[in-house]
């Protein structure tokens, strides 16, 4: 069963405009050669079509070397359910259950799980057999995934087939106990599949999250930089981490921003969910922005716990999943100051260890000891004064800051890397540094009136020219990074005073691209 759409050879705007009118808005533009959300745009009305098509074609060409597009009806509130199929060279083909990949952002999967919650055995069988028929119809051999949209009435529509193993294949391995990579090698060697359809296991439940270098608070822009801190969750039963990075690596703008995958298996869905939450709590990455806290909020959301899944999950719960920035509380600054001071050497000088003036104990004659710090974190700065009339309730033990008060003991990860302290606070890792007011003033002055590049990337389009009057929200420059396009838009009405880039330029994060004079 197919979603209504146009999959023809003609690729001009008028053909797509006529097809969209026939199908009915909203429609979904998709790269024919694509996957992973690249070259995919939702078009709500005819006025958006031309720009969306041009942008999707550029993304498709950049990602796949093929700009051809198709257009389909955009199904409202669907679930994304896909079937893992496997076929050998002897005509045998079977399906290894299904995965639910409905939690998506920008058509890019964020959370995947197997089996799909709430599917009846009859629906699983119908979808599995449809996927096998599709694979057999093209004489397919090896691992593949047939992807479907599943609506609330239980109707499903073929979306695409990915002729490869996918990022989320570990959840299938977790619920079947099978090694799909080994199966690929054996099939390539001419061996038959080792199981029949009736023998395919389905054991427990598995959930995977994709760990990205991106900034959820800034429209999920990809993040680049050096992994100054990288700690994976501890191994154990039902825990798996697939990653390709280590501490000290550089995340560049030339590749997909995914750093790794966290996979948890449990005897049931709730055990898998809680196990994955614990893994996220143990993970720590410093030096660039990641989506760890965002993933944790998804898994902890009551709607996710109740398996209320569809592709609109993230937009529907955006207020909870993407809360506005909150001021850091006084307790945070106190903990940061304690970790900072206790992590410093006890003495400023080693040449006179007997002198009280070399100690960092905040000594004041006739008064309680007092230490003063001026710290900055997440764009905020705070002066903190710690007085020592009694022993501190904080104690730094290795890389753990322990706090004991009223019989309750808490531990916070506190890791020092050069001039930065990474402190884990309420599920998020914060980078704390010493505040330099002169450097802050210079940085503010240099960017005044200028719109900077939000990340490293290349300029693919310059849409304005000096002297042009623009309204708030007007796209000024289009930047491509990690195979995705991002528009730099005017934050207010004004006049373009100067351009500091041209199409084809490679720019670094923070580079001023446009100077905009406010109206």
Catalytic annotation, pick one of 22, 164, 409, 417: 164
CA distance 6 to 194: 39
Cβ–Cβ < 8 Å for 172, 205? no
Dist. CA 346–CA 343, nearest whole Å: 9
Across the strands, what pairs with 203? none
Q: Give the residue among 261, 131, 112, 103 at the shortest CA–CA distance from 172.
A: 112
Q: Is 164 a catalytic residue?
A: yes
For residue 24, give the nearest of 2, 1, 43, 48 by alpha carbon: 43
**Residue 229: Cβ within 10 Å count:** 21
Q: Hey, CA dihedral for 255, 37, 162, 11, is it positive or negative? A: negative
Where are the extended beta strands (E) located within 249-337? 250-251, 258-266, 284-286
DSSP string computed for 264-284: EEESSHHHHHHHHHHHHHH-E
Cβ pair 210, 241 in contact under 8 A: no
Residue 488 forms beta bridges with which residues? 477
Which of 88, 102, 93, 91 minimizes the C-alpha distance to 159?
102
Question: Nearest 5°: CA angle at 171, between 170 and 176?
Answer: 95
Contact 501, 507 (CB under 8 A): yes
Specify whether the backbone of 132 is left (phi greater than 0), alpha (psi in -120 to 50) or beta: alpha
DSSP 107-127: TEEEEEEESPTT--HHHHHHH
Question: What residues are labeled active site?
Answer: 164
């Amino acid at each position: 069963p197919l979603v209504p759409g146009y999959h023809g050879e003609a690729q001009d705007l008028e053909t797509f405009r006529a097809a969209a009118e026939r199908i009915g808005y909203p429609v979904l533009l998709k790269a024919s050669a694509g996957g992973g959300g690249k070259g995919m745009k939702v078009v709500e009305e005819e006025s958006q079509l031309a720009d969306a098509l041009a942008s999707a074609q550029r993304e498709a060409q950049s990602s796949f070397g093929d700009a051809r597009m198709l257009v389909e009806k955009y199904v409202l509130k669907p679930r994304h359910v896909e079937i893992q199929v496997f076929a050998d060279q002897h005509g045998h083909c079977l399906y290894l259950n299904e995965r639910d990949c409905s939690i998506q952002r920008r058509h890019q999967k964020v959370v995947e799980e197997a089996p799909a919650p709430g599917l009846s055995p009859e629906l699983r069988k119908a979808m599995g057999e449809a996927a096998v028929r599709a694979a057999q119809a093209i004489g397919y051999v090896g691992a593949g995934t047939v992807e479907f949209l599943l609506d609330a009435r239980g109707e499903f529509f073929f979306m695409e087939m990915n002729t490869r193993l996918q990022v989320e294949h570990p959840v299938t391995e977790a619920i079947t106990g099978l090694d799909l990579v080994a199966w690929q090698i054996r099939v390539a060697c001419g061996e038959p599949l080792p199981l029949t359809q009736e023998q395919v296991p389905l054991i427990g439940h598995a959930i995977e999250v994709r760990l990205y270098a991106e900034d959820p608070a800034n429209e999920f822009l990809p993040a680049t930089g050096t992994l100054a801190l990288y700690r994976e969750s501890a191994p154990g039963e039902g825990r798996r981490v697939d990653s390709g990075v280590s501490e000290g690596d550089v995340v560049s703008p030339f590749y997909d921003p995914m750093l790794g995958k966290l996979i948890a298996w449990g005897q049931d869905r709730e055990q898998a969910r809680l196990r994955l939450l614990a893994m996220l709590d143990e993970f720590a990455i410093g030096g660039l922005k990641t989506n760890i806290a965002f993933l944790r909020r998804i898994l902890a959301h009551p709607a996710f716990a109740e398996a209320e899944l569809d592709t609109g999950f993230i937009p529907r719960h955006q207020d909870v999943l993407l809360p506005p920035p909150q001021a850091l509380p006084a307790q945070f600054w106190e903990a940061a100051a304690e970790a900072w001071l206790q992590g410093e050497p006890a003495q400023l000088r080693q040449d006179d260890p007997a002198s009280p003036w070399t100690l960092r104990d905040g000594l004041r004659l006739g008064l309680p000891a007092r230490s003063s710090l001026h710290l900055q974190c997440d764009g905020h700065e705070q002066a903190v004064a710690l007085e020592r009339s009694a022993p501190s309730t904080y104690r730094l033990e290795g890389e753990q800051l322990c706090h004991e008060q009223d019989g309750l003991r808490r531990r916070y990860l506190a890791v020092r890397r050069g001039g930065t302290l990474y402190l884990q606070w309420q599920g998020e890792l914060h980078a704390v540094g010493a505040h330099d007011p002169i450097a802050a003033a210079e940085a503010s002055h240099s960017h005044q009136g200028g719109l900077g590049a939000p990340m490293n990337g290349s300029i693919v389009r310059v849409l304005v020219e000096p002297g042009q009057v623009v309204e708030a929200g007007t796209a000024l420059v289009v930047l491509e990074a990690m195979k995705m396009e991002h528009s730099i838009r005017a934050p207010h009405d004004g006049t373009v005073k100067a351009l500091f880039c041209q199409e084809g330029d490679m720019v670094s994060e923070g580079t001023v691209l446009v100077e905009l004079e406010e109206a």
